């Protein structure tokens, strides 16, 4: 008889709950977006007319080495439109960034979204995302924009990155 047991351990690598020090969130390029902070949440609102899209972004300027066991978790409320949540991160032992995205549908309820970082693919580029922060070497970039043209209304409560490591044992 074979007995298999599986243990899963998790540890938090990074978190942003928008309460203490708030990251500088910026609008991307010429897209016009209203970014505000209130009661531990970030509010993103836009009504793009000519370009049809709105995008906000921020980065984490810490020395964190992510790997394939890591999971990005966010608590988000998408009041209108679909949200495209894009991320770029550096994996442990690699100089190249990895790129991934998740589309989140509108809902009246808060949504807890989990994104395994192993879904991301390498991004080979000589100037992107380096041109966004030329004097820094961030480990993580977060981009939030509307998936479909039109009004954009989003609330973000928190964003976390957890490392989950599973250890199996056979008997």
User: pLDDT (tens digit, 9 = 90+) per residue, 115-156?
Assistant: 999 999 999 887 788 788 888 888 899 999 888 888 889 999
Rounded average pLDDT over 45-57: 78
Beta strands 121-123 and 97-104: pairing type? antiparallel
Which residues does 150 contact at the CB level (< 8 Å), separation at least 6? 47, 48, 52, 80, 81
Q: Which two tokens stand for residue 129?
A: 């995302």
Under a CB-based contact definition with an 8 Å cutoff, are residues 18 and 40 in contact? yes
CATH numbers and ranges of domains, the chain: 4-170 (2.60.120.430)
User: Any idea which residue has 């979204």 for tokens?
Assistant: 113
CB neighbour burial string for 116-143, b if at least 16 within 10 angstroms, e if fewer: ebeebeeeeeeeebeebeeeeebbbbbb
Task: Indicate if the pLDDT at residue 19 is higher than 70.
Answer: no
Which residues does 30 contact at the CB level (< 8 Å), separation at least 6? 51
pTM, 2 dp: 0.80
Under a CB-based contact definition with an 8 Å cutoff, are residues 102 and 115 in contact? yes
In this predicted structure, what is the pLDDT of residue 104? 96
pLDDT, tens digit, for every residue of 52-92?
Answer: 778 888 888 888 888 878 999 999 999 988 999 999 998 87
Q: Which one, of 82, 117, 116, 85, lies nearest residue 98 by Cα?
A: 117
């Amino acid at each position: 008889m074979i007995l298999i047991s599986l243990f899963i351990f998790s540890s938090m690598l990074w978190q942003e709950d928008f309460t203490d020090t708030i990251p500088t969130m910026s609008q991307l390029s010429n897209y016009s977006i209203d970014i505000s902070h209130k009661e531990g949440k970030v509010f993103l609102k836009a009504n793009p007319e000519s370009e049809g899209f709105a995008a906000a972004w921020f980065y984490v300027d810490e020395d964190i080495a992510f790997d394939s066991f890591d999971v990005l978790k966010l608590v988000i409320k998408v009041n209108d439109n679909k949200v495209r949540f894009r991320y770029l991160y550096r994996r442990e032992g690699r100089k190249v960034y990895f790129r991934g995205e998740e589309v989140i549908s509108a809902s009246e309820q808060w949504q807890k979204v989990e994104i395994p970082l192993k879904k991301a693919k390498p991004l080979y580029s000589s100037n992107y995302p380096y041109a966004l922060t030329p004097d820094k070497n961030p480990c993580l970039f977060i981009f939030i924009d509307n998936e479909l043209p039109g009004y954009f209304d989003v609330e973000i409560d928190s964003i976390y990155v957890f490392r989950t490591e599973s250890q199996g044992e056979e008997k």
